[in-house]
Structure 1
């Protein structure tokens, strides 16, 4: 592997059927940061039964449907991340662009300062993290497909179907993987 790390920030990691770790089985991960020092992302398709208002009351009215907290990954489950879509070129104070219209919201900022400009907000408890080179190794071993993200992935109204939906829109063989059965032994 070359010493140059090409950034995957803003792309999706889609778990291959071979990835059976319960934290990531059929997961769709949005990479929020990827560089020589490692990678950080959130799992987009793990809604919890916990309402946003139960943990972050001030953000409950702004969070998009379903208005629940998503389990962003197995690391720091007591920490919350806000991922938002903001159309246009300039985002408000308290928002940092990650890729395209996707960015991170400072959840310590007053919600009313950001509310008018947020196209969509989703709250994640925890995140997925990889040390230097770890993600590249997992991709090389066949644990993840790396595909382009679309703003609608973050705001999917049906997150439980996101794994199949993201694969289905790919070209060639990857689109076929979307038909992979939940339990291959039943085929």
Structure 2
């Protein structure tokens, strides 16, 4: 298990400078599921140029700005999943599965009308990030990921270019300092 405690849904994984996999360089990943069998998440800071309306037209009315698909990760990039935020935690509509608090997964096969008015935000991801049993814990232990608390605003913010820096900046101690570290310290 990682030094930073047990991994759980709702946390963010922030790529450290040690992580060289091009799929995850400077990535911020929202964990949607984590248990002894593995983990699943979506990359929050990789918008694509593909409008939601061109792929999932009914959901474009509900999608948060920018209304584009986000590249959620390298696994199943031809598939889509959606993360939504409930307006009211006590009003859970058909087609919504809670992940953490009011944050959850939205079944895109559900008629959008059944969720109308229940969601304050929605983001659609093409693909996801997945790890087998123990794989993510090993990556955290080797220093590839910072594990930090997530906030709904991280998932649905319109501008994601500074997401990694902003998430690190609000952390206590050394992680706040890491937010200002240049990509290549030798160029400093």
- TM-score, normalisation: structure 1: 0.95
Structure 2: give runs of 5+ residues left out of the alignment. none
Which contiguous aligned blocks of 4+ residues in structure 1 show a shift greater than 6 angstroms? none
Pairing 1:10-159 to 2, within 5 Å after superposition: 10-90=10-90, 91-159=92-160
Quote how far apart the aligned CAs of 1:7 are: 4.3
CA contact (8 A) 1:6 1:35 kept: no
Structure 1 CA distance, aligned partners of 2:107 and 2:49?
23
- The superposition leaves residues 110-129 of structure 1 with CA deviations (integer Å, 9 ceiling, x where unpaired) of 11111211110000000000
Aligned length: 185
Aligned counterparts of 2:14 and 2:109: Cα–Cα separation in 1: 30
Q: CA deviation at 1:183?
A: 3.8
Query: Which runs of 5 or more residues in structure 1 are unaligned?
Result: none
1:156 positional shift: 1.1
Asked if 1 retains the 8 angstrom alpha-carbon contact of 2:88 and 2:118, the reply is: no
CA distance in 1, matches of 2:158, 2:88: 22
Task: Verify the 8 A CA contact 1:44 1:159 in the aligned structure 2.
Answer: yes
Alpha-carbon shift at residue 182 of structure 1 (Å): 3.3
Question: C-alpha distance in 2, partners of 1:157/1:184?
Answer: 29
Q: Is it true that 1:181 corresponds to 2:156 in the alignment?
A: no
Deviates more, 1:7-16 or 1:99-108: 7-16
CA RMSD of aligned residues (A): 1.5
Residue range with higher mean Cα deviation, 38-47 or 177-186: 177-186
TM normalised by structure 2 equals 0.94
CA contact (8 A) 2:14 2:27 kept: yes
DSSP 3-state at the match of 1:85: strand
Please give the alpha-carbon distance, in whole angstroms, between the structure 2 residues aligned to 1:88 and 1:111. Answer: 17
